[in-house]
Structure 1
Amino acid sequence: MHTTRSGPGTVARTRRSQLFRLKPVDAIVAQHEEDGGHGLRRSMSLWQLTALSIGATLGTGIFVILGEAVPLAGPAVVLGFVLAAVTALFSALSYAELAGSIPVSGSSYSYTYATMGELVAWVCGWCLMLEYGVSVAAVAVGWGAYIDDLASNTVGAVLPAALSAPPGDGGVVNIPAIVVVLLAMALLLRGTSESARVNAAMVVLKVGVLLFFCAVAFTAFRAGNLAPFVPMGLAGVTAAASQAFFSYIGFDAASTAGDEARDARRDLPRAIMLSLLVVTVVYCLVALSAVGAVPWQQISGSDAALADVLSLATGQTWTAVLLSIGAVVAIASVVLTVLYGQTRILYAMSRDGLVPPVFSKVSARRRIPVANTVIVSVLIALLAGLVPLGELANATSIGTLFAFALVNVGVVILRRTRPDLPRTFRTPLYPVTPVLGVLFCVLLMFGLGASTWVVFVGWMLLGLAVYLGYGYRRSALRTGA
């Protein structure tokens, strides 16, 4: 009688195969289509999906990060935004292809599950918690800075530092940051259609405000403010690009709405590319007009940089007031849309058993994940109120770059393993484009400081512990649930 021995080597190989077990594309799509009337409601049009990505992106960096990126490169911060845009473009092309091939909620988490296996998908999803969850908190902190600027220019008073800044920035708790997160939560709980309509209106407003800024700033443009153009050299441009990349985070937000798009295969790729085009043009115009209107040294370190530029360039307070009003509304839309994206990623991970089932419970009446939205919003509100902006932004950037690199690799793998898969969008110049996407992501990751890497490695180790302690044992792919 023949018996099969199962030694330590066999057990180790079995565990490795389970860690990297793929969830087939057909199974992912079928699972989301089987929801029928019990899952999320498909109600979002191409315009609403595009507005979702623009809403999640436009304003995040220009309104908040410009003051931190300018000291790194001087006037060449414009090149930093261009380099960050090129990096985002390579990844956007890969996102567009995968979104058209795997049209479900979950963004790059779902894409890596289909191409690189469960452990890599978990790592990607854990990074997305930095990209989405932490960036909401970072943007909320910037929203508070514009609230203070608006109050100063209108009523001549601001909130005490203890109530408008987190510990480490001279305060105790950032009340405005907490408030904007909770307001976004309240709107999301009303339903996806309502949130999408409000966001679309906010997008129109924020584009108008930024075009107003450019029109005013270009009237004060002085070529001498651009000299010397690259005072910190190429290293400064790379460092500024690493910082400015935070302002492009969110163009992939449409990919988190795969279960709520009316025609996901057709509209998701279009929404991703259209949103990146609009954002890049606006960012480059704003950055150029800002450093041309006033000496770059006067922009450095300001959390409300654009309002300060208008005040310095025109000597008038009303322009800064108008910009601050626009910024308050515009940044609120970033909080709304990115918070939405985080809840949908957790929804997808919960369906796969990797996070608790409470995150995938959908309200029968409103067809939204109510408990998921409340839990995430409260945690992010606490984070926004208690953590300084700089560390939040840097941690977000490195997590996002890592996730983007995985998406580019996923395109290459899926082209080789599933050449027959229907694709509504194909990345041009394949395989050069996704390879460059990986290289540019790595370049910008190494442009971030050592402290950011320490935070990132610590976050990854924590994520690995959570996966081994919970997700590995409860994975639906392993248990057959």
Structure 2
Amino acid sequence: MIGMGAMIGAGIFVLTGLAAEISGPAAILVFLLNGVVTAFTGLSYAELASAIPKSGGYAFVREIFDDFGSFMMGWMLWFAYIIAGALYALGFAPNFIELLHVYGLTAAPGEVGAVILPVLGVGVPPRFILAFVAVAGLVALNAASTAASGSAETVFTIVKVTILMMFVAFGFLSAGGGGETSFTFQNFDPLFTEGSGPFSILPAMGLTFIAFEGYDLITTVTEEVENPRENIPKAIFVSLLATVVVCLLVVTVAIGTLGATELAAAGEAGIAEAATSFMPTGVPVIQNGGALIVFGAVFSTITALNAVVIASSRVAFSMGREGQLVQSVGQIHYRFGTPFVAVLLSAVVMLGSVFLPTQSAGNMSSLFFLLSFIIVNVAVIRLRRERPNMNRPYKIPYYPAPPLLAIALNAILAVVLIRFLIQTDLLTLLLSIGWLGIGAVMYVALNKYRTRGTAGGTEATTDQPATDGPREE
């Protein structure tokens, strides 16, 4: 549920129309190929998780690379989850306002004015306030109880998958029905329209790659599940397969009913507009298909946000436990049994990140995930070479072809995305480089701090016994 909750997030709702704008009807190939590309890395995550069942997601790299290399991987992965969280929080706000608007409780999202803060007298856009509330609420839940946050993720994920399956079912039922809403799949012919040739798939894949990021979050809670050597690989494969199937069905119905041109014109509201075109109206509570999709988008952003709050805090916790952040970050709260300080630290950075432009947040997150996936595939190759006799309950089939393909494909998408950012969103590239620079400075500063602490007898060494991971309540 953590994996599916993160992957079937805001991406499928808001990025489908944007993908159609770039690649036309071939947007369906964009989602299919992204699923294939990410599956190769999924194989590497499964083998590493079965061999090294530690929480944090970057623990595999810690076993293989030097201290600085593993720190930078953890630093980059931690921030990628945080930025993804900011993106989901920003996606939650307009969808929630739109949901209230559907039921006549507020004006449309673009017409809602700023909220004046009582004490400061400063006007703040409501999307920022709602993003703050969403992050704060889920942080409180995760800080207080691991079990409660996991249960919430399960319920929310089931609700949104059910909504998407209703969208798919009504879409296929309307095909060939003879009414105004009936459709055939002639909207996919030709697959490549004028101005969107085969090479248009690549930038669209880079933009939508974040829609298939999420199965890696499963490895961040490895120590909190039973029999992780067996269950973590299973969870990766099941969540990835289910997500690919759901995404392909949704994109097929969206393009088949609305057409790529209209879907592209609708932009982030493409799925909702497609639902309005063929789903029944006048249904009690639901009202119409667009309202149902907005309802699903609210649940999707909340589940994706909850998943990355869990994941980002576990990366920070793992880094603290390994001595790569201050010691308090890697400790479990004596009462709640959660990585309390790690959750709060991640929340502070996430709350600060909600002021980033939405597109910049999405692009930065995708870039960091692509780079981290390359490192994970390199890690599985090095581990095979350096520790051939290591216990590996799961082994990648046809090794070394899958990790080598994953490295090549992720590198191609990363290069395409960087080129796209240079042309259209230079701010994102500069912010990404800046964050890596801050990480390098932080690494040097923490090393000096630990050296002084060790010399004074106040800081524990980094090879102390590991603290137990967060516990299930």
C-alpha RMSD over aligned residues:
2.3
Q: Give 2:88's aligned residue.
A: 139
After superposition, give the CA deviation of every residue in 1:352-371 in whole Å (9 maximum; x if it has no partner).
22222232231112210222
After superposition, give the CA deviation of every residue in 1:88-147 in whole Å (9 maximum; x if it has no partner).
10000000000000101111x211111122222112112212321110110111112211
Q: Once the 2 structures are TM-superposed, how far is the Cα of residue 201 of structure 1 from its aligned partner?
A: 1.4
Q: Give 1:184's aligned residue.
A: 138
Q: Give 1:221's aligned residue.
A: 183
CA distance in 2, matches of 1:123, 1:87: 24
CA distance in 2, matches of 1:425, 1:242: 29
Question: Paired residue for 2:256, among 292, 305, 309?
Answer: 292
Q: Contact (CA 8 Å) 1:187, 1:194: kept in 2 or not?
A: yes
CA distance in 2, matches of 1:130, 1:363: 23
The amino acid of 2:274's aligned partner reads: V
Q: Once the 2 structures are TM-superposed, how far is the Cα of residue 186 of structure 1 from its aligned partner?
A: 2.2
Q: Give 1:208's aligned residue.
A: 162
Stretch deviating more after TM superposition (154-163 or 351-360): 154-163
1:339 aligns with 2:309: yes
1:389 aligns with 2:338: no
Q: How does 1:284-433 map to 2 (within 5 A)?
A: 284-300=248-264, 302-314=267-279, 316=281, 318-384=288-354, 386-433=355-402
Stretch deviating more after TM superposition (212-221 or 266-275): 212-221
Question: Paired residue for 2:239, among 275, 278, 281?
Answer: 275
Q: Contact (CA 8 Å) 1:130, 1:395: kept in 2 or not?
A: no
What is the TM-score of this pair, normalised by structure 2? 0.84
CA distance in 1, matches of 2:276, 2:164: 15
CA change 1:471–1:250 in 2 (3 A) is: farther
Q: Contact (CA 8 Å) 1:354, 1:474: kept in 2 or not?
A: no
Q: Contact (CA 8 Å) 2:322, 2:462: kept in 1 or not?
A: no
CA distance in 2, matches of 1:479, 1:80: 44
Question: Paired residue for 2:224, among 260, 263, 288?
Answer: 260
SS of match in other structure, 1:230: coil
1:97 aligns with 2:47: yes
CA distance in 1, matches of 2:11, 2:296: 15
CA distance in 2, matches of 1:247, 1:374: 26
Q: Contact (CA 8 Å) 2:81, 2:308: kept in 1 or not?
A: yes
The amino acid of 2:44's aligned partner reads: S
CA change 1:392–1:267 in 2 (3 A) is: same
After superposition, give the CA deviation of every residue in 1:50-85 in whole Å (9 maximum; x if it has no partner).
x11111211231023223222111111111111111
CA change 1:302–1:171 in 2 (3 A) is: farther
1:474 aligns with 2:450: yes
What is the TM-score of this pair, normalised by structure 1? 0.83
1:440 aligns with 2:409: yes
Q: Contact (CA 8 Å) 2:144, 2:336: kept in 1 or not?
A: yes
Q: Give 2:199's aligned residue.
A: 235
Q: Contact (CA 8 Å) 1:106, 1:344: kept in 2 or not?
A: yes
CA distance in 2, matches of 1:270, 1:70: 32
Q: Once the 2 structures are TM-superposed, how far is the Cα of residue 372 of structure 1 from its aligned partner?
A: 2.1
After superposition, give the CA deviation of every residue in 1:159-184 in whole Å (9 maximum; x if it has no partner).
555549xxxxx958522222211121
The amino acid of 1:444's aligned partner reads: L
Q: Contact (CA 8 Å) 2:24, 2:260: kept in 1 or not?
A: yes
Instruction: Count how many residue pairs are aligned between Structure 1 and Structure 2.
Output: 424
CA distance in 2, matches of 1:146, 1:196: 23
Q: Which runs of 5+ in 1 are unaligned?
A: 1-50, 165-169
Q: Contact (CA 8 Å) 1:182, 1:378: kept in 2 or not?
A: no
1:61 aligns with 2:11: yes
Question: Paired residue for 2:56, among 106, 110, 124?
Answer: 106
CA distance in 2, matches of 1:267, 1:136: 26
Stretch deviating more after TM superposition (155-164 or 340-349): 155-164
The amino acid of 2:207's aligned partner reads: Q
Q: Once the 2 structures are TM-superposed, how far is the Cα of residue 310 of structure 1 from its aligned partner?
A: 1.2
Question: Paired residue for 2:74, among 125, 145, 166?
Answer: 125
CA distance in 1, matches of 2:369, 2:307: 16
CA distance in 1, matches of 2:42, 2:326: 30
Q: Once the 2 structures are TM-superposed, how far is the Cα of residue 158 of structure 1 from its aligned partner?
A: 3.3
After superposition, give the CA deviation of every residue in 1:381-404 in whole Å (9 maximum; x if it has no partner).
3322x2221110110001001111
CA change 1:358–1:64 in 2 (3 A) is: farther
SS of match in other structure, 2:10: coil
Stretch deviating more after TM superposition (248-257 or 217-226): 217-226
Stretch deviating more after TM superposition (174-183 or 417-426): 174-183
Q: Give 1:77's aligned residue.
A: 27
The amino acid of 2:252's aligned partner reads: L
Q: Give 1:459's aligned residue.
A: 435
Q: Contact (CA 8 Å) 2:323, 2:462: kept in 1 or not?
A: no
Q: Identity of paired residues, percent?
A: 28
